[in-house]
Amino acid sequence: MNKWTIGRRIITGFALVLIITAILGGFALRQIFILHGEITCFAKNILPSVVVLSEINTLAYANFNTLLKMSAAEPEQYLEFEKKIALKKARIDELFNQYVKSLVADAEDERRISDAKRSFVAMVENRSHWFELLHENKIEESRGYFAGVLVPSFDQVLTSIQNAVDYNIQLGQLAGKTGEDSARKSRVLIGVLMASALIVSIFLAWQVTRTTNRTLRYLALNLDRGSLQTASAARQVAISSNSLSSGASEQASSVEETSTALEEMSSMIRATAENARKANTLATEARECADAGSKMKEEVAAAMDAMESSSNEVAKIVKNIDEIAFQTNILALNAAVEAARAGEAGAGFSVVADEVRSLAQRSAASARETAEKIEAAISSSKNGSECSARVGDALIQIAEKVKAVDLLVADIAKAASEQSQGIEQINSAMAQMDKVTQNTASSAEEGASSAEELEAQAETLKDLVSELRTLVGSSSAEKFHQRTIS
């Protein structure tokens, strides 16, 4: 607590007192709620239960007296007596239902009222049988049944009702005893808590007052010494402020020169970054051109493959023509032989055979020449395809090299951009330093004037400390200070 503030001490003391008061009030409210519960149980459950059971008992007695009167009455009076008994029986059923619905206290109470209700139902059944005997004019048998069955049945009803009444009386006695015990305990505990709260409150008030006074005395002594030290320090601050002001001016000049040099470096790096960005753009375009050349190589290779396939097909066709010419030549020879055999009759046919053979020979010669040219074209296509493949490989290598150059130029551009940003940040920092240095110089000048004012305020503080020592007791403060030092 010696290191606590005065506000914290007072708040802690009041908080503890409030906590004790809240505990006391909470306990008192809890005991009041317990007493309220016991009283409510007695007023709304036990007492109404006894009243209802007493009314059932009274009505049952009234019905039994009516039965006694009915046993000695004339037959023409039976119906009147039965109506009275039925009215009371309906009221008893209503009371039983009311009890079961809203007045049952616990399982034992429910068991006892259920026994009473079963006994009453059995008695009603026996009474109905007795009514039948009376209406059948069996006087002797009805008297024996009344004495031997109906009376014991009625006694059972009264006994079960009395058991329920006795249990409710026990509950009432238990509730009264519980309430009495709770009230007695409440008086004792509330008294103990009140005494404890009073003792704790007195102790807290004494402790807070003692520690606060001791702290104030200690502060008064330290403030007295501090006021003297403050006056001396104020003079030293004034001297240091003058030195700081001149040094800050020199520093501001140096910062300004450094800022100019950084500005020149920043412009050069910005130009380098711009050139790097342009080189990056050109490298990207070159890579795109190389990629386009690679794609065109694939298209040329596909065209050369198609040409080679077409040449092969034409070669097959020419071969077929050559075979047809060969067969035609053979047929022409055969026709010439047959024409020679025929003599003059086959002279015209021989001329035709000669012409067909001549035509077949020219076709064969043309087919051979065409085949030679196609083979040359196929060979040229193969050479072109191989050249195209080599060109494609070269374009792929060029694209890879350009891509690598593109990556390097992109890294250079990124590095140059980051350097430009870094230089700009340094420029900003230097500008901020320049501003801070100028502020420091002006602050140093203001500090020199403030130090003079501080010295004057130190004298005022000394006077105030003297008044504080007078307030807390100068002699007591000095004794406390001496005890602290020792």
pLDDT of the residue at 119: 92
Rounded percentage of the chain residues whose pLDDT exceeds 70: 72
pLDDT of the residue at 193: 77
Angle at the Cα of 15 from the Cα atoms of 9 and 20, rounded to 5 degrees: 130
Q: Which long-range contacts (CB under 8 A, 24 or more apart) does 14-18 make?
A: 16/200, 16/204, 17/197, 17/200, 17/201, 17/204
Residue 41 predicted with pLDDT over 70: no
> Of 128, 116, 97, 127, nearest to 156 (Cα)?
116
Q: DSSP letter string over 456-478?
A: HHHHHHHHHHHHHHHHH-HHHHH
Tokens of 305: 């493959």
For the residues 220-249, what does the mean pLDDT come to? 67
Question: 19 vs 34, which has greater pLDDT?
Answer: 19
HSE-CB at 385 with a 13 A cutoff on CA atoms is 15
Residue 234 predicted with pLDDT over 70: no
Does the predicted model carry a pTM greater than 0.75? no
Residue 476 predicted with pLDDT over 70: no
Alpha-carbon distance 125 to 36, whole Å? 44
C-alpha dihedral sign at 55, 56, 61, 62: positive
For the residues 311-322, what does the mean pLDDT come to? 76
Are 273 and 419 a contacting pair, CB within 8 Å? yes
pLDDT of the residue at 405: 65
Query: SS3 helix, strand, coil % of the chain, rounded to 5?
Result: 95, 0, 5
Lowest mean pLDDT among 101-115, 186-200, 246-260, 460-474: 460-474
Secondary structure (H, E, C), 171-224: HHHHHHHHHHHHHHHHHHHHHHHHHHHHHHHHHHHHHHHHHHHHHHHHHHHHHH
**How crowded is residue 334: how many other Cβ atoms within 10 Å of its Cβ?**
11
For the residues 130-152, what does the mean pLDDT come to? 89
pLDDT of the residue at 75: 83
Question: 475 vs 421, which has greater pLDDT?
Answer: 421
pLDDT of the residue at 358: 82
User: DSSP letter at 42?
Assistant: I
For the residues 360-377, what does the mean pLDDT come to? 79
pLDDT digits (tens, 9 = 90+) for 167-186: 988 888 887 788 778 778 87
pLDDT of the residue at 178: 83
Alpha-carbon distance 313 to 311, whole Å? 5
Lowest mean pLDDT among 121-130, 309-318, 437-446: 437-446
CB contact set of 326 (below 8 Å; sequence gap of 6+): 360, 364
Question: 1 vs 446, which has greater pLDDT?
Answer: 446
Alpha-carbon distance 295 to 305, whole Å? 16
HSE-CB at 363 with a 13 A cutoff on CA atoms is 19
Lowest mean pLDDT among 34-43, 142-151, 155-164, 382-391: 34-43
CB contact set of 178 (below 8 Å; sequence gap of 6+): 34, 38
Residue 297 predicted with pLDDT over 70: no
Residue identified by tokens 């802690």 is 12
Are 388 and 273 a contacting pair, CB within 8 Å? no
Lowest mean pLDDT among 103-112, 335-344, 475-484: 475-484
Are 428 and 263 a contacting pair, CB within 8 Å? no
pLDDT of the residue at 92: 92
Tokens of 483: 């005890």
Are 194 and 139 a contacting pair, CB within 8 Å? no
Q: What are the angstrom distances between the C-alpha of 124 and each of 89, 115, 151, 341, 360?
A: 9, 14, 12, 154, 141
Lowest mean pLDDT among 16-25, 108-117, 267-276: 267-276
pLDDT of the residue at 10: 75
pLDDT of the residue at 324: 83
> Of 63, 169, 49, 60, nearest to 113 (Cα)?
49
Residue 121 predicted with pLDDT over 90: yes
Q: Which of 79-83, 210-214, 248-252, 363-367 has the highest mean pLDDT?
A: 79-83
Question: 75 vs 415, which has greater pLDDT?
Answer: 75
> Of 167, 159, 160, 156, nearest to 50 (Cα)?
167
pLDDT of the residue at 152: 93
| Phi then psi dihedrals of residue 140, to 5 deg | -65, -45
pLDDT of the residue at 155: 92
**How crowded is residue 247: how many other Cβ atoms within 10 Å of its Cβ?**
14
Query: What mean pLDDT is reported for the chain?
Result: 77
Alpha-carbon distance 16 to 207, whole Å? 13
Question: 147 vs 374, which has greater pLDDT?
Answer: 147
- Banded pLDDT at 477 (limits 50, 70, 90): very low
For the residues 462-480, what does the mean pLDDT come to? 59
- Banded pLDDT at 470 (limits 50, 70, 90): low
pLDDT digits (tens, 9 = 90+) for 246-287: 666 676 676 677 667 667 767 776 777 777 678 678 768 767
Give helix 474-485 / helix 347-472 axis angle, nearest 10°. Answer: 120
pLDDT of the residue at 129: 92
Alpha-carbon distance 468 to 215, whole Å? 12
Residue 45 predicted with pLDDT over 90: no
CB contact set of 118 (below 8 Å; sequence gap of 6+): 160
Q: DSSP letter string over 266-278?
A: HHHHHHHHHHHHH
Residue 245 predicted with pLDDT over 70: no
pLDDT of the residue at 338: 76
> Of 258, 130, 210, 158, nearest to 480 (Cα)?
210
Lowest mean pLDDT among 123-127, 301-305, 482-486: 482-486
